[in-house]
């Protein structure tokens, strides 16, 4: 179940309570009159079955409440309550199949911001990928895949396109458009230092290696990226975050960026362009399939007219 904590002006409280009580998927309703100081108002808390959360949030007017107060959505954790069990049984559908749009938009919005942490992780991942290329080490390449934070902005673009939140799309696009070039510049500096110190062979990259798959773009690359994007979005919408580790390992976005930089510094343009093509194919494939999953899940749940379209603040 999910736990909702709502701070709202007193004039909204009775309506929120009535809407929350009217849905069979809610439980453990608590109200503290005058309990909120900033912003001033009442504090309302209750648990809701995940599959009922979107209906309840729409009913209480979460967007309106967010403008005048606050709505906090958290996991309820282990709840020992027969009332909670009855609420989950009464709510239509299954919790793992439910998409809580407000939660999804907020989560992807937080993970797509261009900041020092994002740039640092992306740069470290690209440098790791470059090391994996130079040492012909698939294990290091896999490490770079796991460290890379790029799936957050890619998921945000998909969510923004489906929910028509263009600010979210722009923010995520800027993070990728600035982040990858910046990380590649850092990787290029590291590669040039490696060549200057003799750690990297100046002649060329081997034509046959264990990491050649990074620049060998083809239909398999597109298929893998489509499957990874679908699995990643299913993981985000069903709260099964462990699946994301497999998604990170399956796509070659960061390794392709690192490989392209190393190949460029060595003048191996065929492998450089192949890596860039691999990067583009993976980025586009992930966004397309992730957006397709959201569209299908929205239609299945009958939420086409209830997806929040309010622009992000």
* Contacts of residue 189, Cβ cutoff 8 Å, sequence gap at least 6: none
Q: What is the pLDDT of residue 31?
A: 93
For the cut 80, the answer to whether the pLDDT of residue 309 exceeds it is: no
pLDDT class of 206 with cuts at 50, 70, 90: low
Collapsing DSSP to helix, strand or coil, 119 comes out as: helix
Mean pLDDT value of segment 153-163: 92
pLDDT class of 201 with cuts at 50, 70, 90: low
Q: What is the pLDDT of residue 239?
A: 59
Q: What is the pLDDT of residue 284?
A: 94
Q: What is the pLDDT of residue 96?
A: 65
Mean pLDDT value of segment 201-211: 63
Bridge partners, residue 186, by sequence: none
Collapsing DSSP to helix, strand or coil, 74 comes out as: strand
* Cα–Cα distance for residue pair 48/57, rounded to 1 Å: 10
In percent, the amount of the chain with pLDDT more than 70 equals 87
For the cut 70, the answer to whether the pLDDT of residue 302 exceeds it is: no
Mean pLDDT value of segment 281-302: 86
What's the whole-model pTM score? 0.81
For the cut 80, the answer to whether the pLDDT of residue 245 exceeds it is: no
Q: What is the pLDDT of residue 102?
A: 83
Burial 148-171 (b: 16+ CB within 10 A, else e): bbbbbbbbbbbbbbbbebeebbeb
Q: Tens digits of per-residue pLDDT, 49-88?
A: 988 888 899 888 888 888 899 999 988 878 888 888 888 8
For the cut 60, the answer to whether the pLDDT of residue 303 exceeds it is: no
Q: Average pLDDT, whole number, for the chain? A: 84
Mean pLDDT value of segment 44-50: 92
Q: Among 12-26, 162-176, 249-263, whose mean pLDDT is lowest? A: 249-263
Cβ–Cβ under 8 Å, residues 290 and 244: no
For the cut 90, the answer to whether the pLDDT of residue 171 exceeds it is: yes
For the cut 60, the answer to whether the pLDDT of residue 310 exceeds it is: no
* Cα–Cα distance for residue pair 55/302, rounded to 1 Å: 11
Length of the chain: 313
Q: What is the pLDDT of residue 257?
A: 92
Say which residue, 98 or 22, is predicted with more confidence: 22
Q: What is the pLDDT of residue 212?
A: 76
Q: What is the pLDDT of residue 77?
A: 79
Q: Tens digits of per-residue pLDDT, 246-270?
A: 556 667 789 999 989 988 888 888 8
Collapsing DSSP to helix, strand or coil, 49 comes out as: coil
Q: Alpha helices of the chain — where are they, by DSSP H?
A: 10-22, 50-60, 62-68, 82-90, 101-111, 116-135, 138-147, 151-163, 166-196, 219-238, 243-250, 253-265, 269-301
| CATH class of domain segment(s) 2-98 | alpha beta
pLDDT class of 205 with cuts at 50, 70, 90: low
Q: What is the pLDDT of residue 292?
A: 94
Q: Tens digits of per-residue pLDDT, 99-119?
A: 788 888 888 888 888 999 999
Q: Pick from 157, 179, 155, 176: which is nearest to 168 by CA?
A: 157
């Amino acid at each position: 179940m999910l736990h909702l904590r709502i701070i709202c002006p007193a004039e909204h409280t009775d309506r929120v309570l009535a809407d929350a009580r009217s849905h069979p998927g809610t439980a453990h309703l608590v109200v503290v009159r005058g309990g909120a100081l900033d912003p001033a108002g009442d504090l309302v808390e209750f648990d809701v079955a995940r599959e009922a959360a979107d209906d309840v949030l729409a009913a209480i007017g979460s967007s309106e409440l967010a403008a005048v107060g606050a709505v906090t959505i958290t996991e309820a954790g282990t709840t020992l309550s027969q009332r909670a069990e009855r609420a989950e049984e009464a709510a239509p559908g299954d919790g793992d199949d439910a998409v809580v749009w407000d939660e999804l938009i907020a989560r992807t919005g937080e993970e797509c911001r261009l900041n020092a942490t994002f740039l640092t992780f992306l740069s470290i991942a690209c440098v790791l990928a470059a090391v994996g290329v130079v040492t012909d080490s698939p294990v290091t390449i896999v490490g770079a895949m796991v460290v890379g934070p790029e799936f957050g902005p890619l998921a945000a673009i998909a969510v923004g396109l489906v929910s028509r939140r263009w600010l979210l799309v722009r923010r995520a696009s800027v993070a990728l458009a600035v982040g990858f070039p910046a990380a590649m510049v850092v990787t290029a500096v590291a590669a040039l230092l490696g060549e200057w110190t003799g750690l990297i062979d100046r002649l060329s990259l081997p034509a046959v290696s264990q990491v050649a798959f990074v620049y060998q773009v083809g239909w398999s690359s597109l298929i893998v990226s489509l499957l990874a994007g679908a699995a990643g979005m299913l993981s985000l919408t069903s709260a099964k975050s462990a699946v994301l580790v497999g998604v990170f390992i399956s796509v070659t976005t960061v390794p392709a960026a690192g490989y392209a930089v190393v190949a460029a510094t060595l003048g191996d343009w065929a492998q450089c362009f192949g890596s860039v093509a691999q990067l583009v194919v993976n980025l586009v494939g992930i966004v397309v399939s992730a957006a397709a999953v959201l569209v299908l899940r929205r239609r299945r749940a009958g939420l086409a007219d209830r997806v929040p379209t309010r622009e992000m603040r």
